[in-house]
Structure 1
Amino acid sequence: MFAWQELLQKQPAVITIVGMAKNVGKTVTLNYVQKTIHKEGYVLGLTSIGRDGETFDALTNLEKPGIVVQPGTIVATAEKMIVDNSVWDCLQVTNILTPLGKVIILRAKAINKVVLAGPSKNSDVKDILTCLAKWGARCILIDGAFDRQSSADPLVSRQVILACGATVSRDLAELILMTKSRIEQLTLPACDGFYQNLFEKYQAKVMTVKAGIVREVSVHTALMSPSEWHKVLNEDCDAILIKGAVSDSLAQALLRQSGTPLIIVQDGSKVFITTTLWRQLRARSIQLMVLNPICLLGLTINPTYPGGKGFDAEVLLQEMGKALAPLPVIDIMREAKY
């Protein structure tokens, strides 16, 4: 599916799998990637951001596919998630707490199902990654929380696989447009070194830059109203640096301006702008860049949704593939790739 040999040259490779909504095939993707890498002889590590892998979907009450671990896989999950200790070797009990107990490090003795409940703080997730690597994991997969784009934070994992499907939209054209917009946000280009240094040097949530001179804006959060952003944008500046999430309010303020500065955010997982406003920003050539770029390895698609037929699988693959080329688009269930 992907060039695993190239990815796994780094020690270890860390890949996050993120879904655009529930029931888009994120767990199926996770299981497929695990099985594929395991067949190639690599020791896998597995954890999650928050809890995932429920037996029944919280919205539909339908049974969900479980997370299946391969023999020898090293898993980090909360201690209360382990029902049968006989199928695991306990390697380590960490001091990282979750609502379901301490995170423990286990090695699967055989093929087994697991419910993942990892830490929600990125700093704790990074500590877990260190533990998994210490116990020999060559490739670590992170199960990103449902519809939580921040799971793709490159400070945790710079490599991401995105899962989408018919539950995002029942209209094919809209689904493609929504997916394309999300991918454009996740893969925003990196800013140059000058602005990277400013991010490290200054602590303010919002900064304006004019001819190399920085002004720190006195705000507690980057989630300001359109009118508050309008005041910042009215300043004569070359760029605005933002620490934290940006939403539709910034987009609305940008679209009201006749001329706009360069907008630089920490990474693409911090951009939460709806498809309509995002397309308008693109049409106006309003430029956004990031401090930390994300490497999107590919997109997996699920043509079905619970209780419904969904899309023709081959039509979805072909249309999504054409729209997103050269990004790999994969139908996991059919093992078909555009």
Structure 2
Amino acid sequence: MSAHHLADLVTEAQRVAVIGLAKNTGKTRTLVALLAELHRRDRTVGLTSVGRDGEATDVVDPRITKPRIPLPPGGLVATAEPLLRAAGLPYEVVSRTGYSTPLGRTMIARLPAGGAVEVAGPSSNRGTAEVTAAMREHGADIVLVDGAINRRAASSPAVADLVLLATGAALHTEFAQVVEQTVAAAEVFALPCSGDPAVYSAAATAAGSVAITGSGAVVPVDRALTLGGAGADLSRLLAGPDGAQHVVLSGALCESFAEEIRRAARGRKVSLVVTDSSKVFLAQRTSDWYRRQNVSIEVQKPTVLAAVSVNPVAPFSHRFDSVALRTELSARLPGLYFCDLGPHVD
């Protein structure tokens, strides 16, 4: 699969997030390849980042040369004003936003001649959604949002219509662990939507997190309970024939809360419902593991994961066989597209 096929996958989308599972897994290379292919198709592209990307060398390991991000001529970018000036490229300011980054205020500009630019946009869902909408209003056919697994705002359906995931050898020194961690991440993006209308009704009217009991009663859940460390209170919430069947969270789902719900439920079925997959933070167990313990993690709004790019090389460390890695991932995640957009630098 090539950048040509990636562009085919995103052709109907207006907003696409490119998410890296770790540093140096090929996210920027994926972004650059997609930018070039969209330009060949005469698509006007907008670009922003939930964080920072496009620097010449890695900020952690300066030995690692990073791919520059060449915005095509006529493209739009939402980035910090000092970074845009430092690029030394001609640009036309179309909007100065109210969002600031550690590198300066975010502005939206058009680059008539294109060129390489560092990108640092708003870090919040709201800010990213607003600048992507603004770039669309100013003529972008499609907006690419650069993100990372620790900058989850980029993958929210409020920000992106679909997601491209970048994984690779930099994730772990063991082949099997790269596969397992990639599969776990993909499973979170593919979390099922809740099938109970009561969940959506409660979420639309509640001021915070709530529990829905077996009889349909909606009970407020104190925010402190959702942060972990309140096992006894959760046991009471879930106890008895009219115990909670759904817990609808207004914020993030942390692993400590999921684990306490599992213990308190004592084998009873219960669902934990979040707004979307960007609100789920699991590190020790997978969503599939919790499902097998009768704790179903569900979403109100689905995330569309369209493809996974694979970088088989960890810089200055190790490499895996690209075909073997893609074959194994394809077997574990049927229906997804996989590609290697190398060459990669050892």
Match of 1:143, SS state, is strand
Whether the aligned pair in 1 keeps the contact of 2:211 and 2:219 (CA below 8 Å) is yes
- For the residues of structure 2 that align with 1:50 and 1:221, how far apart are their CA atoms? 30
Whether the aligned pair in 1 keeps the contact of 2:22 and 2:148 (CA below 8 Å) is no
The alignment status of 1:238 with 2:254, answered yes or no, reads no
The alignment status of 1:136 with 2:139, answered yes or no, reads yes
The answer for the alignment partner of 2:320 in structure 1 is: 311
Q: Structure 1's 106 and 221: CA in aligned 2 closer, same or farther, altered over 3 A?
A: farther
The alignment status of 1:247 with 2:257, answered yes or no, reads no
Superposed displacement of residue 333, structure 1? 1.7
The answer for the alignment partner of 1:69 in structure 2 is: 71
Whether the aligned pair in 1 keeps the contact of 2:173 and 2:318 (CA below 8 Å) is no
Q: Structure 1's 249 and 220: CA in aligned 2 closer, same or farther, altered over 3 A?
A: closer
Instruction: Report 1:164-203 matches (<5 A).
Output: 164-192=167-195, 193-203=197-207
Deviates more, 1:37-46 or 1:189-198: 189-198
- For the residues of structure 1 that align with 2:286 and 2:149, how far apart are their CA atoms? 23
Please list every run of 5 or more consecutive structure 1 residues that lacks an aligned counterpart in the other structure: none
Superposed displacement of residue 65, structure 1? 1.5
Match of residue 271, structure 1, among 277, 280, 285: 280
Whether the aligned pair in 1 keeps the contact of 2:125 and 2:153 (CA below 8 Å) is no
Superposed displacement of residue 109, structure 1? 2.8
Letter paired with 2:328: E
Superposed CA RMSD:
2.3
Whether the aligned pair in 1 keeps the contact of 2:101 and 2:122 (CA below 8 Å) is yes
CA-to-partner distance for each residue in 1:244-294, whole Å, 9 max, x for gaps?
A: 111221332244322131221111111111254545324335322101110
Whether the aligned pair in 1 keeps the contact of 2:91 and 2:111 (CA below 8 Å) is yes
How many residue pairs match? The answer is: 333
Please give the TM-score of this superposition, normalised by the length of structure 2: 0.88
Match of residue 211, structure 1, among 185, 210, 215: 215
Q: Structure 1's 158 and 224: CA in aligned 2 closer, same or farther, altered over 3 A?
A: farther
Whether the aligned pair in 2 keeps the contact of 1:22 and 1:146 (CA below 8 Å) is no
The alignment status of 1:328 with 2:337, answered yes or no, reads yes
Match of 1:310, SS state, is coil
CA-to-partner distance for each residue in 1:167-223, whole Å, 9 max, x for gaps?
A: 111211221111111111111111233311211110122433332210011225732
The alignment status of 1:157 with 2:160, answered yes or no, reads yes
Instruction: Report 1:8-87 matches (<5 A).
Output: 8-9=11-12, 13-61=14-62, 62-82=64-84, 83-87=86-90
Deviates more, 1:324-333 or 1:233-242: 233-242
Please give the TM-score of this superposition, normalised by the length of structure 1: 0.90
Whether the aligned pair in 1 keeps the contact of 2:167 and 2:310 (CA below 8 Å) is yes
- For the residues of structure 1 that align with 2:284 and 2:15, how far apart are their CA atoms? 29
- For the residues of structure 2 that align with 1:231 and 1:34, how far apart are their CA atoms? 53
Match of 2:171, SS state, is coil
Q: Structure 1's 143 and 244: CA in aligned 2 closer, same or farther, altered over 3 A?
A: same
Whether the aligned pair in 2 keeps the contact of 1:205 and 1:221 (CA below 8 Å) is no
Superposed displacement of residue 86, structure 1? 4.1
- For the residues of structure 2 that align with 1:291 and 1:92, how far apart are their CA atoms? 33
Please list every run of 5 or more consecutive structure 2 residues that lacks an aligned counterpart in the other structure: none
Letter paired with 1:199: A
- For the residues of structure 2 that align with 1:231 and 1:306, how far apart are their CA atoms? 51
Superposed displacement of residue 148, structure 1? 2.4
Superposed displacement of residue 230, structure 1? 4.4
Match of residue 268, structure 2, among 250, 259, 266: 259
Letter paired with 2:67: P
The alignment status of 1:118 with 2:125, answered yes or no, reads no
Q: Structure 1's 322 and 200: CA in aligned 2 closer, same or farther, altered over 3 A?
A: same
Instruction: Report 1:272-287 matches (<5 A).
Output: 272-276=281-285, 278-287=287-296
Letter paired with 2:164: I
Letter paired with 1:173: A
- For the residues of structure 1 that align with 2:331 and 2:52, how far apart are their CA atoms? 34
The answer for the alignment partner of 1:295 in structure 2 is: 304
Match of 2:200, SS state, is helix
Identity rate, percent: 28
